[in-house]
Amino acid sequence: MKNALLSLTFFGLVLLAPTSSSQERKADSPAASATASSQASEEKKAPSAPSAKELAIAQQLPSYPLGTCPISKEKLGSMGKPIDLVVEGRLVRLCCKGCIKALTKNPASAIAQVDAAVIARQGPGYPIKICPISKESLGSMGKPVDVVVGTRLVRVCCKGCIKSVKKDPAAALAPVNAALIAAQLKTYPLKTCVVSGEELGGAGMGPPLDMLYGTRLVRLCGKACEKSFAKDPTDYLKRIYRAGRAK
Q: How far apart are CA 147 and CA 151, in angstroms?
A: 10
Neighbour tally for 52: CB within 10 Å:
10
Mean pLDDT of the chain: 86
**H, E, C per residue of 9-66:** CCCCCCCCCCCCHHHHHHHHCHHHHHHHHHHHHHHHCCCCCCCHHHHHHHHHHHHCCC
Q: Which residues pair with 209 in a beta bridge?
A: 220
Do residues 165 and 152 lie in contact, with contact meaning Cβ atoms separated by under 8 Å? no
pLDDT in tens, 179-223: 999 999 999 999 999 999 999 988 778 899 999 999 999 999 999
For residue 173, what are the CA distances in angstroms to 130, 155, 165, 166, 233?
12, 10, 8, 11, 22
Neighbour tally for 83: CB within 10 Å:
18
What pLDDT, on the 0 to 100 scale, is given for residue 49? 82
Per-residue pLDDT of the chain (247 residues; tens, 9 = 90+): 333 333 333 333 333 334 444 444 444 555 545 555 555 555 455 567 889 999 999 999 999 999 999 999 999 999 999 999 999 999 999 999 999 999 999 999 999 999 999 999 999 999 999 999 999 999 999 999 999 999 999 999 999 999 999 999 999 999 999 999 999 999 999 999 999 999 998 877 889 999 999 999 999 999 999 999 999 999 999 999 999 988 7
Q: How far apart are CA 141 and CA 157, in angstroms?
A: 6
Please classify residue 58 by burial: count the beta carbons closer than 10 Å to its beta carbon, then call 0-12 exposed, 13-18 middle and 19+ buried.
Answer: middle
pTM of the shown model:
0.77
What pLDDT, on the 0 to 100 scale, is given for residue 203? 79
Q: How far apart are CA 206 and CA 200, in angstroms?
A: 8
Do residues 50 and 5 lie in contact, with contact meaning Cβ atoms separated by under 8 Å? yes
